[in-house]
Amino acid sequence: MRDVCVRARKGLGLAVCLAAAALTLAVARAAAEEPVMVQLDRATVIKLPERAATVVIGDPLIADVSLQPGGLGVITGKSYGATNVIVLDKSGAVLAEHTLEVEGPAGPTVVVYRGVTRQTYSCTPDCERRITIGDTGAELYDGAVDKDYFAKSLEQATGRNAQATAAGAAQQGH
C-alpha cells in the first residue's frame, strides 16, 4: 500500500493514492464481514453494538430478530435465503449492518422422495415427520397425495403451542 502511494506521488498524484487506499479498505471490510449463518427453524444469538435501539430485517419472511436485554439480539431462521439486518440507535444512525444467510436444518434429518412428493423427518433419536419448506405433502397408501398435510401439521403445531403458552401463563399466575 505504501509502495503504491510513494509511486503515485511521483507520477499520477494524490488521487491515485487515495483511490488505492479506499479500494484496499473496501476489500478488507468485505473480507472481514462474514455473513451471520442461521439454520432454518433455529435461533442464533448475536451481540449488538452499544446504543442499539432498533433492529431492521430486510426480508422478514427469511429471518426474524428480537432485541434482548444486555445488548443481545436473537435471530430466528424462517425460510431459506439471504437478507440483511441493520442496527440503528435512537436517533436513527446506522450502527451496524450484517448479511444473514438461512440454511437448511442440520442434524439427523432424512428426506424421503416418493414420486413427486417429498417429506422430511427429524430423527432425534426416532424419526418423526416435521414441517419443512419444500415438502410437498404425504403420499397416501393408495398413491394419492394428502394435500391437507401442511394444514393438518400446522393445526397440530399451533394447538400444541397454544397449550404450552396457556400452561406457562397459568404457572406465572401462581
Residue 9 domain-assigned? Answer: yes
Percentage of the residues of the chain whose pLDDT score is greater than 70: 72
22 plus 72 within the same structural domain: no
Q: What is the pLDDT of residue 56?
A: 94
87 plus 41 within the same structural domain: yes
- What backbone phi and psi angles, to 5 degrees, belong to 146? -75, 100
Residue 95 domain-assigned? Answer: yes
| Domain ranges, residue 24 | 2-32
43 plus 97 within the same structural domain: yes
95 plus 152 within the same structural domain: no
Q: Is the distance from CB of 122 to CB of 108 less than 8 angstroms?
A: yes
Q: What is the pLDDT of residues 100-159, one digit of tens each?
A: 999 987 778 888 887 777 888 888 888 888 777 777 766 666 666 666 766 777 787 778
Q: What is the pLDDT of residue 1?
A: 46
H helix count then E strand count, the chain: 3, 12
Residue 23: pLDDT above 50? yes
